[in-house]
Each structure stands twice: as C-alpha cells, then as structure tokens.
Amino acid sequence: MNIPYEKITFSANKYHAIVDGMFVSFMLFGIAAGIKFSKKWYMQQRENEKLAKQKLATELQLLKTSIHPRFLFHSLHTVQHHIDNSSEQSPGLILELSDLLSYILYEKDESWVELEKELEIIRHYINLEEKGMEDNLLFKTEFSGNTEDKFIVPFLLMSIVESSFEYFSQTGQKQPLFSLIVGVNDNVLHCQFSLSRPANKSKDIVLPDEKLISVQKQLQNQYAGLHYLAVTSHIEHYSIDLKLPLYSGDLINSKKNSTMNEIPEFV
C-alpha cells in the first residue's frame, strides 16, 4: 500500500523502524569491532616483525663475530713457533693476528665497514693460515678496481674465506688450493671464490656450512633483492660466485639512523 510520506506515522511503520534501527546498530557494532580487531592484528604483526628483526640481528651478531677455535689455536701456535725459532716474520705475524682480533672486537657493532679494511683483514687471515700450513697452501688472490670510499657489511667476505679454510681442515687436504678474485666495477662488487676438493671423494663434505648460512642471512637482511650468490660443485673444486652493490661513505652516513634492514639506494 502506497502511503504519502507526510502521512507515515511511527505506529504505522514501527516494525520497520525497529528492524532498521537494530540493523544499523549491529552494522555499527560490526564496523567498530572490525576496526578494533584489525588494529590489534596490525599491532601484533608489527611486534612480531620487531621481534623477528631483533632475533635475526642477534643471530648475525653471534655468527659474524665468532671465529673458529681451530684458527685461533693454529695461529697462536704458528706465532709461537716463529718466535721460538727467532724468525724475522714473527713481528709481522703478531701484528696481523692483533689486527684481525681488533677487527673482530671493534667492528662487530658496525653495520658497514670500508671494503679496503675487509680485504686487508682477509689478506692477514690467509697469510696466517698459509704459515700455519707450513707454506703448503696454494693460493691466488687478485683485487682490481677502485675500492676507495666503498662500504660493505662487515665479516661478509671474511665469513666465506673462513668457511673455505674450515672445509680444508675438515677434508684433510695436504695441499689445498684456494683462489679469491675480487673486482669492483660501477659500484658493483664481484667476488669469485674457488676451493679444491679432496682427491679421495669419500672424505668430501658438502657445502655450505654454518658460516655460509650466516652469509646468506646477512645478504637477505642487508641486500635483499640486490645480490647474487651461487655455490657450484665441480669435479675438482667448489666455486662461490657473489655479486652485490657497494655504497659510498656519504650515503652510509645519511643512513645511520635507518632501520636494520633498510637498503640504501645505489651510489
């Protein structure tokens, strides 16, 4: 029945008024509850992300600052051996070990370090390993390109180098072969690692180990979507290929207050 609007009374339409009122109330309650639960879910997600970042930061801190006891033992033994034999190399080995330990102690809290410093520490590490192996290590290092005012996550390359020598120790190779070729081109770092496999394949161990896993975490954390990492098994050797961007000192300084996983733009 069509009733003119001005003649509609509450008593004539009270059923619809009550139903519509209840519907609006339930609708408003549903919207309010949805907003409340959405806000609670969002805050919980933010808290979970924060805890995940803190957990990851702690894991990376422990992994990148831990140096294998085998290396420390052999390095100290090597230094003592050269001192006992009045070797002219003793002062240099002591300084290299001191620089390496200082790097581990004082750079562990830094988000970025100079690429030149990381490469210098790697040279010290390889030299100490070579002396500990009584010069039975066959190695090749090559560094090319402009490394000045270029920054990298600390212990990233160092972890791969240490992982390689741990592999040599575990496989018991008498004359291991290690190669590291580092090139910088257009603010992109390209590192090629090669480490020999034992002649007796029964003693071989599959890569990666704990250190390489930590490298993968560091890359995911600081270079997500910007890096390339490949570990390839060949008949006589393993190869590790790594590419990642480098950043300038000015850009790093401008990002000091950024979050842990914030990625600076390319230089």
Q: Can you give the CATH number for the domain in which 185 is found?
A: 3.30.565.10
Coil vs helix vs strand at 154:
coil
Q: Rounded to 5, what percent of the chain is helix, strand, coil?
A: 55, 15, 30
Cα 232 to Cα 127: distance, rounded to the nearest angstrom: 26
Cβ atoms of 190 and 183 within 8 Å: the answer is yes
Is 41 in the same domain as 82? no
- 5 within domain boundaries: no
Q: What is the pTM of this model?
A: 0.69
- 267 within domain boundaries: no
Angle (CA) 200 204 210, round 5°: 160
Is 156 in the same domain as 244? yes
**CB neighbour class for 64 (10 Å; exposed up to 12, middle 13-18, buried from 19):** buried
Q: How many domains is the chain built from?
A: 2
- 44 within domain boundaries: yes
Domain endpoint, select from 65, 81, 108: 65
What the block records as the tokens of 149 is: 């005012």
Is 95 in the same domain as 138? yes
Closest to 237 in 3D by CA, of 186, 173, 184? 173
Is 211 in the same domain as 120? yes
Closest to 159 in 3D by CA, of 203, 216, 111, 84? 216
Coil vs helix vs strand at 206:
coil
Per-residue pLDDT tens over the stretch 9-25 = 545 555 555 555 565 66
Per-residue pLDDT tens over the stretch 133-169 = 877 888 889 999 888 889 988 888 988 888 888 888 8
Coil vs helix vs strand at 181:
strand
- 243 within domain boundaries: yes
Q: Which residues contact 159 (CB under 8 A, 6 or more apart)?
A: 63, 64, 211, 212, 214, 215, 218
Check whether 41 has a pLDDT greater than 80.
Answer: no
Is 104 in the same domain as 175? yes
What the block records as the tokens of 221 is: 């954390």
Check whether 177 has a pLDDT greater than 90.
Answer: yes
Per-residue pLDDT tens over the stretch 202-231 = 666 776 566 777 788 888 888 888 999 998
Is 79 in the same domain as 48? no
Mean pLDDT of the chain: 76
Is 233 in the same domain as 248? yes
Domain endpoint, select from 32, 47, 65: 65
8-state DSSP, 260 = T
Is 115 in the same domain as 210? yes
Which residues form the domain of 91?
66-254
Is 143 in the same domain as 197? yes
Is 81 in the same domain as 126? yes
Is 54 in the same domain as 148? no
- 263 within domain boundaries: no
Domain endpoint, select from 30, 46, 65: 65
Per-residue CA distances from 82 to 123, 132, 170, 190 (Å): 19, 10, 25, 36
Is 19 in the same domain as 106? no
Average pLDDT on 195-207 reads 76
